[in-house]
Amino acid sequence: MQLSIRRAAVGIALVSTLGFALAGCGSTPSTSSTSNGPIALQETGSTLLYPLFNIWVPVYTKSHKNVTITTQGSGSGTGITDAGNGTVQIGASDAYLAPGSPAGLLNIPLAISAQQIMYNVTGLNSQHLNLSGKVLAEMYTGKITNWNDPQIAALNPGVQLPNLKVVPIHRADGSGDTFLFSQYLSFSSPAIWGASNFATSVSWPSVQGSLSATGNGGMVDTLAQIPGGVAYIGISYLNKATQKGLGYAAIQNKAGNFVLPTQANILAEAQGKVSQTPKNEAISLIYGDGANAYPIINYEYAIVSDKQSSTQIAAAIRTFLDWAVTSGNAQNYLQQVHFLPLPSAVAKLSQDQIAEIK
């Protein structure tokens, strides 16, 4: 069963429930505010955000004809690094900046995303197995080695689990998805995983038979080839993964309930965090309160230096990012990758940060 995305009715509910900004309400000009010849911007980073950039860019550049934007899905770690050293103007990241990051770097939310836990278990891919942080931590540390383990069976009464080896699959590249997944393990099962063992790159435990893959696309392709595999995959790849017949789990949240990454459950998680979002917008949305809260969600960030090489470049970045958090947050764009728009209060914080780019 694929993630259900309601259209017009949900768009109204988003606004009324959390004060989500109506897409297109921003005062974005129909042509670029930079008029001194062609402007070239480069974006790289998150493979979870990459599909949305590839939806946004053709639409944006059609009405901003002097601007070209090249995109690359290279992993959040690369996006942060390249934005920090000036190799690109926009880094994309599922992870907010860590304390001690280079001065002048901004992390600007552009939308709300989520991550699902997927598996390739013969005969069960059409079902949503219940999985907890503890079970996942034990899979990724080699303590649970078979799908018919009593702990998994206890979470899934009545399900005939096969005697099939568990093959944990993790990202090989510096990844915001790794940050999200490892943070969920740390928050939900600190005794097994470690209370602060989360980052875009972590030291994975040595588990016999475990595999690694590059990018969300690589995770999907690898999982599809490995019976018994389990993997964490960004929600913008949900359609690709389900088309390959892979299953995804209902994940145990902080309240102890098993929930799917539906739009309503992602909203329930976001609801408790909006008012806590600080001015710099660096905040974890993982494992929050709420009976129906889906526990692995995040802001998708643009990582940008507040000092650019020219005023023209800075103006082009500001105009594009302002478009992204207003017009670009329209459901007809976001629903293609199962993202949600920013709440209006968070969009305003993003616009305040965008204004700092000079």
Q: How confident is the model at residue 343 (pLDDT cuts 50, 70, 90)?
A: very high
- CA-nearest of 222, 170, 223 to 198 is 170
Q: Where is the domain boundary, 271, 286, 317?
A: 271
pLDDT of residue 18: 59
Residues 72 and 271 sit within 8 Å (Cβ to Cβ): no
> Is residue 277 included in any domain, yes or no?
no
> Is residue 135 included in any domain, yes or no?
yes
pLDDT of residue 32: 39
> Is residue 3 included in any domain, yes or no?
no
Residue 235: φ, ψ to 5°: -70, -20
Query: Are both 124 and 161 inside the same structural domain?
Result: yes
H/E stretch holding 305 reads strand 297-305
Q: Where is the domain boundary, 271, 291, 319?
A: 271
> Is residue 330 included in any domain, yes or no?
yes
Residue partners of 356: CB distance under 8 A and separation at least 6: 106, 306
Distances from the Cα of 15 to the Cα of 4, 75, 267, 278, angstroms: 18, 31, 11, 21
Query: Are both 265 and 147 inside the same structural domain?
Result: yes
Cα 289 from Cα 103, distance rounded (Å): 32
Cα 262 from Cα 310, distance rounded (Å): 43
Domain count, the chain: 2
pLDDT of residue 31: 35
pLDDT tens digits along 87-145? 999 999 999 999 889 999 999 999 999 999 999 999 999 999 999 999 999 999 999 99
> Is residue 293 included in any domain, yes or no?
no
Query: Are both 187 and 150 inside the same structural domain?
Result: yes
- Tokens 């690369």 correspond to what residue? 78
pLDDT tens digits along 325-337? 999 999 999 999 9
When mean pLDDT is compared across 11-15, 77-81, 112-116, 178-182, the lowest value belongs to: 11-15
Query: Are both 104 and 119 inside the same structural domain?
Result: no
SS3 assignment, position 23: coil
> Is residue 288 included in any domain, yes or no?
no
Cα 110 from Cα 23, distance rounded (Å): 12
**What's the CATH code of the domain at 184?**
3.40.190.10
pLDDT of residue 25: 43
Average pLDDT over residues 243-253: 98
Query: Are both 130 and 256 inside the same structural domain?
Result: yes
Query: Are both 73 and 209 inside the same structural domain?
Result: no
Residue 4 has pLDDT above 80, yes or no: no
pLDDT of residue 200: 96
- For residue 339, give its domain range: 8-112+299-354
> Is residue 278 included in any domain, yes or no?
no
- Tokens 């500001």 correspond to what residue? 318
pLDDT of residue 54: 97
Query: Are both 79 and 205 inside the same structural domain?
Result: no
Query: Are both 102 and 218 inside the same structural domain?
Result: no
pLDDT tens digits along 286-304? 999 999 999 999 999 999 9
Query: Are both 335 and 316 inside the same structural domain?
Result: yes
Query: Are both 79 and 127 inside the same structural domain?
Result: no
Query: Are both 192 and 100 inside the same structural domain?
Result: no
Q: Where is the domain boundary, 219, 251, 271?
A: 271
User: Over the chain, what is the mean pLDDT?
Assistant: 92
CA atoms within 13 A on the CB side of 308: 24
Q: How confident is the model at residue 5 (pLDDT cuts 50, 70, 90)?
A: very low
> Is residue 289 included in any domain, yes or no?
no
Q: What is the pTM of this model?
A: 0.91
Query: Are both 75 and 195 inside the same structural domain?
Result: no
One-character DSSP codes across 42-95: EEEE-TTTHHHHHHHHHHHHHHSTTEEEEEEE--HHHHHHHHHHTS-SEEEESS
